[in-house]
């Protein structure tokens, strides 16, 4: 459930913290007060796209935070853990920072996250049901998902989807191998050309790096020789060389040490210096002998590097990558050359998996057919409670054994939610219903019968009572209260008949201070709540009669 929503600098909201409770949470307020901003904030923490025009005028960034309890949603804790996010105290904390500079940030339980992370984590956490969500209810994918949820067929559908994915992969591979013959010939010819070119190059791992290092050495041969020769002279010059100077000093020090043993330590040091200097002299001479002045080798290295540069543009940034590309090309060519054998293997595999698909789809369709009848009856009963006494809801479900028409969730079914709103009329798909009020009641009825199946953290109803009033509104309130017995419900409404059923009532108010407008959200106590219901019943001027009516409505709703 959603426990707290914090909003800062979003549209006309300066700063507000909205507390939510278990059960039915009602948000009411005048038209234009800013109730839609609360919905926008919830949408943002669920992963909707953020734009800088949402930021309050005069500020640089907007912040929205949502705190969810996951205690009753073990699947959400598992999803967080699988995605690598910390799970502590059965809590999900989502924070979104929207910046005018375009550097939007998302945090999940304190860790930076991407929008894709957020959307994946929050999928199915909140079921948003509103006037603008009517369209989603018309989609076959939504209808089959609701049918499966009502019937508890999620695992069966997921298993079918996994089997279908394997089938689709095999079909894709077969299509690639069975493509246009001319196209295949051109591709194999090109593969052979590329393979021949790479093989002829006789590449070795890290060859390019070694050649580049050798080139650098060859380019500096004269400089290196000159420096080494200077070192040799400094060591070996008869008149000013280091070796001669150390030998002279050592001879004198030996004579001194023979007289005074205190000079023996100096002699030992000079002995070591002479030994190391002689070793340095030998090393310099060996180095001088190793330095090559070979213009032919330089040309060879330069030519090889130029060839590698040509190959690099086509096959990879390094010789290691080019060798890996050669292996990939060889594997692709082998697949083409063995395509006839592989095509036969694929056709046999596909034939087997098609039989499995049809069998799995038939089993799933049989279960869905039973569930569809029960869903139709359940929704029809709910509609009667909502003053649609003659309405009859049903699910048209057809099945096909033609695997080419299958999808990962629909399987072999085509589905249509249809309703007969009045006696004597033909049952029509939901999209053909003209009345917004009827659609709202139908949406609520479907959600009501599915709610007790669990799996959804929060139901958010955004003015789905549009076009409804009077006694029907009262029945809508009862249904929402019933849904709230299984799931947390947040409902934005203008109807006092609905608001009277609230377990927790919040009012959204807009006020002006100087040149600024801001929206606040207030929790209502018992007295304030009666006044808000009275306002909803009879306008801003409270009268004794409107307060009495509000008290009576509240009393009736709580029976």
412 domain residue, yes or no? no
Whether residue 476 contacts residue 441, with contact meaning beta carbons closer than 8 Å, is answered with yes
Looking at 293, 317, 341, the residue that finishes a domain is 317
pLDDT in tens, 135-188: 567 788 888 988 998 999 989 999 999 999 999 999 998 887 776 677 778 888
**Within 70-180, where are the H helices?**
74-82, 115-122, 134-137, 140-151, 154-177
**Domain-embedded: residue 415:** no
Same domain flag for 25 and 120: yes
Last residue of a domain, one of 271, 296, 317: 317
The answer, yes or no, to whether residue 239 has pLDDT greater than 80, is: no
Residue 512 has pLDDT above 90, yes or no: no
- In a domain, residue 419? The reply is no
- Looking at the chain, the whole-number percentage of residues with pLDDT higher than 70 is 95
Of 317, 352, 378, the last residue of a domain is: 317
**Are 115 and 211 contained in the same domain?**
no
CATH number at residue 40: 3.40.50.300
Is residue 281 over pLDDT 80?
Answer: yes
What is the enclosing helix (H) or strand (E) of 419?
Answer: strand 413-420
- Domains contained in the chain, number: 2
The reply to whether 154 falls in a domain is no
408 membership: H or E segment, kind and range: none
Asked if the structure places residue 217 within a domain, the reply is yes
In the predicted model, is pLDDT for residue 237 greater than 70?
yes
Whether the CB-CB separation of 492 and 463 falls below 8 Å is answered with yes
What integer pLDDT is reported at residue 557 of this predicted model?
85
Task: Report residue 106 as tokens.
Answer: 């998302």
* Secondary structure (3-state) at 12: coil
- In this model, does residue 66 exceed pLDDT 90? yes
Q: Say how far apart CA 13 and CA 517 lie, in whole Å.
A: 8
Is 132 a residue whose pLDDT tops 70? no
Match 């002045």 to its residue by tokens: 293
Q: Per-residue confidence at 361, pLDDT binned at 50, 70, 90?
A: very high
pLDDT tops 60 at residue 56:
yes
Task: Write the DSSP assignment of 468-505 as a string of letters.
Answer: --HHHHHHHHHHHHHHTTTSEEEEE-S-HHHHTT-SEE
**Strand, helix or coil at 261?**
helix
Q: Kindly provide the b/e burial profile for residues 292-319, where b requires at least 16 CB atoms within 10 angstroms of the residue's own CB.
A: eeeeeebeebeebbeebeebbeebbebb
pLDDT grade for 20, boundaries at 50, 70 and 90: very high
Tell me how far apart the alpha carbons of residues 236 and 315 are, in angstroms, rounded to a whole number: 53
Whether residue 420 has pLDDT greater than 60:
yes
For 45, the domain range is 1-125+456-524
Determine the pLDDT at residue 447: 82
Q: What percent of the chain has a predicted confidence (pLDDT) above 90?
A: 38
> Looking at the domain assignment, is residue 150 inside a domain?
no
Quick one: pLDDT at residue 212?
A: 84
Nearest Cα to 118, choosing from 44, 55, 53, 63? 44
User: In this structure, is residue 411 part of a structural domain?
Assistant: no
The terminus-to-terminus CA distance of the chain in angstroms comes to 26
Are 456 and 481 within 8 A, CB to CB?
Answer: no
Reported confidence tier of residue 134, pLDDT bands at 50, 70, 90: low
Does residue 336 have a pLDDT over 60? yes
- Provide the sign of the torsion angle of the four alpha carbons 81, 83, 88, 91, taken in this order: negative
Residue 336 to residue 173: CA distance in whole angstroms? 11
pLDDT at position 444: 82
Domain-located, residue 256: yes
Q: What is the reported pLDDT for 180?
A: 66
DSSP structural state of residue 88: B
The predicted-structure confidence for 201-235, as pLDDT tens digits, reads as follows 999 988 888 888 878 777 777 777 778 878 888 88
What is 43-85 written as a DSSP string?
HHHHT----GGGBPTT-SEEEEEEEEE-TT-HHHHHHHHHTT-
């Amino acid at each position: 459930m959603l426990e707290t929503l914090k909003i800062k600098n979003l549209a006309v909201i300066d700063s507000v913290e909205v507390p939510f409770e278990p059960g039915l949470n009602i948000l009411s307020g005048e038209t234009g007060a800013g109730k839609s901003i609360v919905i926008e904030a919830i949408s943002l923490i669920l992963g909707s796209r953020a734009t800088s025009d949402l930021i309050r005028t005069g500020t640089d960034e907007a912040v929205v935070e949502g705190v969810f309890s996951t205690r009753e949603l073990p699947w959400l804790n598992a999803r967080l853990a699988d995605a690598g996010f910390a799970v502590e105290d059965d809590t999900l904390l989502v924070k979104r920072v929207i910046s005018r500079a375009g550097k939007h940030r998302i945090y999940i339980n304190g860790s930076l996250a991407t929008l894709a992370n957020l959307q994946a984590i929050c999928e199915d956490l909140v079921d948003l049901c509103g006037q603008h969500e009517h369209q989603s209810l018309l989609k076959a994918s939504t209808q089959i998902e609701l049918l499966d949820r009502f019937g508890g067929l999620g695992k069966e559908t997921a298993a079918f989807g996994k089997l279908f994915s394997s089938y689709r992969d095999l079909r894709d591979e077969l299509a690639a191998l069975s493509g246009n013959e001319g196209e295949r010939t051109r591709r194999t010819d090109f593969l052979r050309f590329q393979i021949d070119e790479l093989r002829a190059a006789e590449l070795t791992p890290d060859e390019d790096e070694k050649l580049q290092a050798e080139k650098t050495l060859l380019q500096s041969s004269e400089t290196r020789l000159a420096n080494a020769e200077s070192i040799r002279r400094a060591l070996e010059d008869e008149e000013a060389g280091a070796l001669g100077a150390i030998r002279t000093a050592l001879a004198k020090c030996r004579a001194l040490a023979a007289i005074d043993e205190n000079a023996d330590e100096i002699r030992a040091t000079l002995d070591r210096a002479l030994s190391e200097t002689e070793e340095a002299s030998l090393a310099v001479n060996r180095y001088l002998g190793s330095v090559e002045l070979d213009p032919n080798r330089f040309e060879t290295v330069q030519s090889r590097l130029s060839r590698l540069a040509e190959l690099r543009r086509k096959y990879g940034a390094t010789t290691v990558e080019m060798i890996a590309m050669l292996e990939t090309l060889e594997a692709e060519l082998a697949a083409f050359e063995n395509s006839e054998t592989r095509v036969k293997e694929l056709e046999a595999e596909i034939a087997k998996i098609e039989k499995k698909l049809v069998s799995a789809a038939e089993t799933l369709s049989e279960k869905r057919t039973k569930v569809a009848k029960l869903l139709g009856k359940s929704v029809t009963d709910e509609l009667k409670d909502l003053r649609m006494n003659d309405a009859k809801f049903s699910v048209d479900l057809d099945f096909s054994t033609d695997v080419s028409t299958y999808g990962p969730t629909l399987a072999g079914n085509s589905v249509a939610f249809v309703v007969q709103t009045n006696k004597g009329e033909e049952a029509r798909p939901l999209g053909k219903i003209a009345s917004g009020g009827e659609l709202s009641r139908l949406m609520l009825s479907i959600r009501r019968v599915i709610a007790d199946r669990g799996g959804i953290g929060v139901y958010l109803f955004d003015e789905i009572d549009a076009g409804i009033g009077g006694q029907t509104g009262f029945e809508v309130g009862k249904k929402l209260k019933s849904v709230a017995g299984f799931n947390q419900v947040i409902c934005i409404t203008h109807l006092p008949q609905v608001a009277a059923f609230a377990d927790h009532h919040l009012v959204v108010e807009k006020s002006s201070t100087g040149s600024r407008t801001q929206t606040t959200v207030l929790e209502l106590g018992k007295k304030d709540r009666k006044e808000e219901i009275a306002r909803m019943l009879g306008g801003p001027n409270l009268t004794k009669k409107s307060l009495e009516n509000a008290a009576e409505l509240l009393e009736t709703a709580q029976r």
